[in-house]
A and B are shown apart, each in its own frame.
Chain A
Amino acid sequence: MNSALLVNIFRFVLLLALQIIIFNNMNFLGYISPFPYILFIILYPVNGNKSGLIIASFLLGLIMDMFNNSGGAHATACLVLAYFRPSLFKFAFGLSYEYQTIKLNDVLTPERFSFILLSVLIHHLTLFLLEAFQLSFILDTLARTLLSTVFTIIICIITIYLIKPNKR
């Protein structure tokens, strides 16, 4: 239990640092940027404390807002993702799935991929809608969401493979 907590705190700090130092400076074509810091929310233990996740995601988003001058857009997006995570599990893995045995950082299966895809999509859509905050930019917002989602997913999957504990 304690080691899980430590792993999560370590992940929180490391992902934030990587996001701010490296990924915030990636601007593909000027406006497509990846946000792999949400891996913290995606990889949070399935049977972990739910209110803990909600509070941690809020703080995670708030710190990102502080660095990006985006008011509360990141905080809202992270919060929404953290709250809908259980429903996404149900959707991606099916109702009858044994939730205690889900492990995300393992070989990529269609279920795991669909879960990551949906999570990233929800987060990015909320984020970019709040960042633009105007319906006249809707097409631009959707384009940003889709392209950034692709970028983020690629980096997320590479990261998961890189940090996967190698048993074999």
Chain B
Amino acid sequence: MQQIFNFIYKNSNRLLFLLLLGISLSLTIQSHSFHRSKMISSANFLSGGVYERINNLNEYLNLKVQNDALASENAKLRSILFNVKDTSSIAKLDSIKGVKNENILISKVIHNSYNVHENYLTLNSGELQGVKPDMGVINSLGIIGIIDNTSPHYSTVISILNKKSQINAKIKKSNHFGSLVWDGKSTGFVQLVDVPRLASIKKGDTIVTGGQSVIFPENIGIGTIANIYTEKETNYYKINVRLFNDMTNLGHVYIIKSKDREELTNLEKREKDE
């Protein structure tokens, strides 16, 4: 017994190191597996609060740029409003291109990362505003990511610039589907993989979200085709997509609350159970 105590006392530093190493490594491994609830995330009281303060200052310094963006979006919405064919029915106010049947929450990016392989954003709205995991996040230009973690006042978003992100997308004019991934190299480009060789595509074609996922509504902009490669092993296209969004400079965003989502997931679950 005495010897055990002696051993523990003598090696206390090493044991402490191993214990803490175990904890931190398990946290690391957990964070790399998809869709696990994370304890250490920036959607909590401390880091969310700090980021909100910092963002308040930054926002004040960037007022002009934000005003320009809002003005151009206003102009776009107004042009939609004035070009409605049937003048008796006024266009819905929340009709961001392609969005129907959805509720939209307005939120703000208070922290943005884009320099590692797994990038996350932090937003300043959370459960109290009705944000739940797996909701889609977009802005006036295109998609941004998917809600990952939520706390009462804040939430984190898996950016499309994240190796874990995989989003259903299609080529706008030909309706061929593929999945959108990121190879971790450039912040301006993402990759569309698994597009069949039958698809006739060329540089400059527009890529939009596909209707197969319940997270994003169909036809939300993503980007344009920059380069096209064919993969030798699989005979699928791999397409480099130039994003509409500048992911390094994000301000106000919209969170999509899909009304049909619950119904759809329930239905799919029932199919599986039978």
A interface, CB within 8 angstroms of B: 20-21, 27, 30-31, 33, 50-51, 54-55, 58, 61-62, 65-73, 75-76, 79-80, 82-83, 130-134, 137, 140
Pairs across A and B, CB under 8 Å, 23 listed: A20-B54, A27-B114, A30-B186, A31-B115, A31-B116, A33-B115, A55-B16, A62-B24, A62-B40, A65-B27, A69-B42, A70-B31, A71-B28, A71-B40, A72-B24, A72-B26, A72-B27, A72-B30, A76-B24, A79-B17, A79-B24, A83-B13, A134-B117
A20 surroundings in chain B (CB, below 8 A)? 50, 54
A57 to chain B, nearest CB (A): 9
Q: Is B134 an interface residue (CB 8 A)?
A: no
With a cutoff of 8 Å between Cβ atoms, the chain A residues found around residue B111 in the complex are 67
CB distance from A97 to the nearest CB of B (A): 21
Nearest-neighbour CB distance to chain B for A78, whole angstroms, equals 9
B115–A66 touching, CB < 8 Å: no
- Taking CB atoms, residues of chain B closer than 8 Å to A58 are 20, 23-24
A137 touches B184 (CB 8 A): yes
In the assembled complex, which residues on chain B have CB atoms less than 8 Å from the CB atom of A65? Answer: 27, 40
Interface size, chain B (Cβ < 8 Å): 40
B42 to nearest A CB, angstroms?
5
- Cβ contact within 8 Å between B54 and A69: no
Cα(A132)–Cα(B186), bound, Å: 15
Known contacts A67-B42, A71-B30: A61-B24 contact under CB 8 Å: yes
Report A-chain residues with C-beta under 8 Å of the C-beta of B258: none
